[in-house]
Amino acid sequence: MHDSIVLYLSLIVVVLFLVMLAQRVRISYPIVLVLGGLALGFVPGLPEVSIDPELIFLIFLPPLLFEAAWQTSWKDFYKWRRVIASFAFLIVILTAGVIAYVSQSLIPGFTLALGFLLGGIISPPDAVAATSILKDIKVTKRLITIVEGESLLNDASSLIVFRFATTAVVSGSFVLSQAVVSFFLVIGMGVVIGLAVALIFYAIHRWLPTTPPIDTILTFVAPYAMYIAAEHFQFSGVIAVVTGGLFLSHHSHNILSHLSRIQGINVWSTIGFVLNGIVFMLIGLELPVIVQQLGDTSLYDAIRYGLIISGVIILTRLACTQGTALFTVFISRFIRTADDRPGWRAPLMFGWTGMRGVVSLASALSIPFLLNTGQPFPQRNLIIFITFVVILVTLVFQGLTLPYLVKWLDVGEMDYSLTSQEQAVNIRRKLAQESLNLINSRFEKEAGENDLVQSLKQKIENDIGFLNHVRESDLTYNTSEHVAQYQLVTREILEHKRSLLKQFNKKETYEEEVIRQHLSQLDLEEEKIRQQFLHLE
User: Which of 409, 429, 462 marks a domain boundary?
Assistant: 409
Instruction: Give me Rg for the CA atoms of the chain.
Output: 26
Question: Does residue 17 fall inside a structural domain?
Answer: no
Question: Does residue 32 fall inside a structural domain?
Answer: no
pLDDT at position 127, please? Answer: 66
Expressed as residue numbers, the domain containing 495 is 476-537
Q: Are residues 443 and 485 in the same domain?
A: no
Q: Are 242 and 76 in contact (CB under 8 A)?
A: no
pLDDT at position 11, please? Answer: 83
Min mean pLDDT across 153-157, 303-307, 317-321 is at 153-157
User: Which of 430, 445, 473 marks a domain boundary?
Assistant: 473
pLDDT higher than 60, residue 434: yes
pLDDT band at 443 (very low <50, low <70, confident <90, very high): confident
Q: Which residues are within 8 A (CB) of 222 and not within 5 positions of it... i.e. 6 or more apart?
A: 66, 197, 198, 201, 244, 245, 248
What mean pLDDT comes out for the span 273-299? 80
Q: Are residues 385 and 424 in the same domain?
A: no
- The model's pLDDT over 164-201, given as tens digits with 9 standing for 90+, comes to 788 777 766 656 666 677 778 888 899 999 999 999 99
Q: Are residues 463 and 480 in the same domain?
A: no
Q: What is the CATH number of the domain that holds 343?
A: 1.20.1530.20
pLDDT at position 17, please? Answer: 92
Q: Are residues 492 and 438 in the same domain?
A: no
What mean pLDDT comes out for the span 436-463? 82
**Composition of the chain by helix, strand, coil, percent to 5:** 80, 0, 20
pLDDT band at 473 (very low <50, low <70, confident <90, very high): very low
Question: Does residue 374 fall inside a structural domain?
Answer: yes
| Nearest residue to 413 (alpha-carbon basis) of 402, 400, 404, 422 | 422
pLDDT band at 309 (very low <50, low <70, confident <90, very high): very high
Min mean pLDDT across 75-79, 106-110, 363-367, 476-480 is at 476-480
Q: Are residues 327 and 450 in the same domain?
A: no
Question: Does residue 29 fall inside a structural domain?
Answer: no
More confident position, 320 or 489 = 320
Give the highest mean pLDDT range of 24-33, 191-200, 372-381, 452-461: 191-200
Q: Are residues 360 and 427 in the same domain?
A: no
What percentage of the chain reaches a pLDDT higher than 90?
17
Question: Does residue 273 fall inside a structural domain?
Answer: yes
Q: Are residues 498 and 465 in the same domain?
A: no
Q: Which residues are within 8 A (CB) of 416 and not within 5 positions of it... i.e. 6 or more apart?
A: 141, 423
- Tell me the average pLDDT of the chain: 82
pLDDT higher than 80, residue 399: yes
Q: Are residues 394 and 304 in the same domain?
A: yes
- In angstroms, the CA 288 to CA 307 distance is 18
Question: Does residue 26 fall inside a structural domain?
Answer: no
pLDDT band at 1 (very low <50, low <70, confident <90, very high): low
Domains in the chain, number? 3
Q: Are 67 and 272 in contact (CB under 8 A)?
A: yes
Q: How far apart are the first and last CA of the chain?
A: 49
82-96 as b/e, with b when 16 or more CB fall inside 10 Å?
ebbebbbbebbbbbb
What mean pLDDT comes out for the span 475-502? 73
Q: Are residues 274 and 162 in the same domain?
A: yes
- In angstroms, the CA 101 to CA 98 distance is 5
pLDDT higher than 50, residue 336: yes
- The model's pLDDT over 49-92, given as tens digits with 9 standing for 90+, comes to 767 777 778 888 899 888 888 888 777 888 888 888 888 888 88
- In angstroms, the CA 213 to CA 266 distance is 12
pLDDT band at 477 (very low <50, low <70, confident <90, very high): very low
pLDDT at position 502, please? Answer: 84
Question: Does residue 34 fall inside a structural domain?
Answer: no
User: Which of 387, 409, 431 marks a domain boundary?
Assistant: 409
pTM strictly above 0.85:
no
CA 413 vs CA 139, 142, 416, 417: distances in Å: 8, 8, 7, 8
pLDDT at position 476, please? Answer: 47
pLDDT band at 482 (very low <50, low <70, confident <90, very high): low
Q: Are residues 112 and 226 in the same domain?
A: yes
DSSP label of 376:
B
| Nearest residue to 227 (alpha-carbon basis) of 265, 268, 194, 186 | 194
pLDDT higher than 50, residue 472: no
Question: Does residue 69 fall inside a structural domain?
Answer: yes
pLDDT higher than 90, residue 217: yes
What mean pLDDT comes out for the span 302-311? 93
pLDDT at position 305, please? Answer: 92
Q: Are residues 130 and 277 in the same domain?
A: yes
Q: Are residues 386 and 518 in the same domain?
A: no
- In angstroms, the CA 234 to CA 236 distance is 7
